[in-house]
Amino acid sequence: MSGDGVKGGEAAEGVPLVDLAAAHAEVEAEVRAGFDRVLASGGFVKGPEVAGFEREYAAFAGARHCVGAGNGTDALELALRALDLPPGGGVVLPANTFVATAEAVLRAGLRPVLVDADPAHLLMDPERAAAALGGAVALLPVHLFGQLAPMGPLLEAADGRPVVEDAAQSQGARQHGRTGYGRIAATSFYPGKNLGAYGDAGAVLTDDDELADAVRLTGDHGARDKYRHERFGCNSRMDALQAVVLRAKLRRLPAWNAARRAAAARYDTLLGGLDGLTLPRTAPGNEHVWHLYAVRIGPGRDRDAVLAALHAAGIGAGVHYPVPVHLQPAFRHLGHRAGSFPVAERAARELLSLPLHPHLTGAQQERVARVLARALHARR
So what's the pLDDT on residue 378? 76
pLDDT classification of 377: cutoffs 50, 70, 90: confident
Q: Taking a C-beta distance cutoff of 8 angstroms, is the pair 59, 52 a contact?
A: no
For residue 97, give the nearest of 168, 164, 161 by alpha carbon. Answer: 168
pLDDT above 90 for 7? no
Provide mean pLDDT across the span 144-162.
97
Provide mean pLDDT across the span 2-26.
69
pLDDT above 50 for 12? no
pLDDT above 60 for 9? no
pLDDT classification of 380: cutoffs 50, 70, 90: low
So what's the pLDDT on residue 187? 98
Domain locations along the chain:
8-18+253-376, 24-250
Architecture of domain 8-18+253-376: Alpha-Beta Complex (3.90)
So what's the pLDDT on residue 379? 52
- Helix (H) or strand (E) holding 55, with range, is helix 47-61
Measured torsion, CA atoms of residues 211, 215, 221, 227, in degrees rounded to the nearest 10 = -50
Measured torsion, CA atoms of residues 92, 329, 98, 219, in degrees rounded to the nearest 10 = 80
Radius of gyration of the chain (CA): 21
pLDDT above 90 for 263? yes
CATH class of the domain defined by 24-250? alpha beta
Name, in order, each residue with C-beta under 8 angstroms of 53's C-beta and a sequence gap of 6 or more. 66, 68, 238, 243, 246, 247, 250
- Cα 277 to Cα 271: distance, rounded to the nearest angstrom: 8
So what's the pLDDT on residue 183? 94
Provide mean pLDDT across the span 64-88.
98
Alpha carbon of residue 378 to chain centroid: 33
Q: Which residues pair with 178 in a beta bridge?
A: 175
Name, in order, each residue with C-beta under 8 angstroms of 38's C-beta and a sequence gap of 6 or more. 44, 47, 49, 240, 241, 244
As a residue count, the chain comes to 380
Q: CA of 230: how far to CAs of 57, 81, 195, in Å? A: 27, 14, 33
pLDDT above 60 for 11? no
pLDDT above 90 for 4? no
Residue 278 DSSP SS3 = strand
What average pLDDT does the chain have?
A: 95
DSSP E strands: which ranges in the chain?
65-69, 90-94, 111-115, 136-139, 164-166, 174-175, 184-188, 202-206, 223-225, 228-229, 277-278, 286-287, 293-297, 351-354
Q: What is the CB neighbour count within 10 angstroms for residue 276?
A: 17
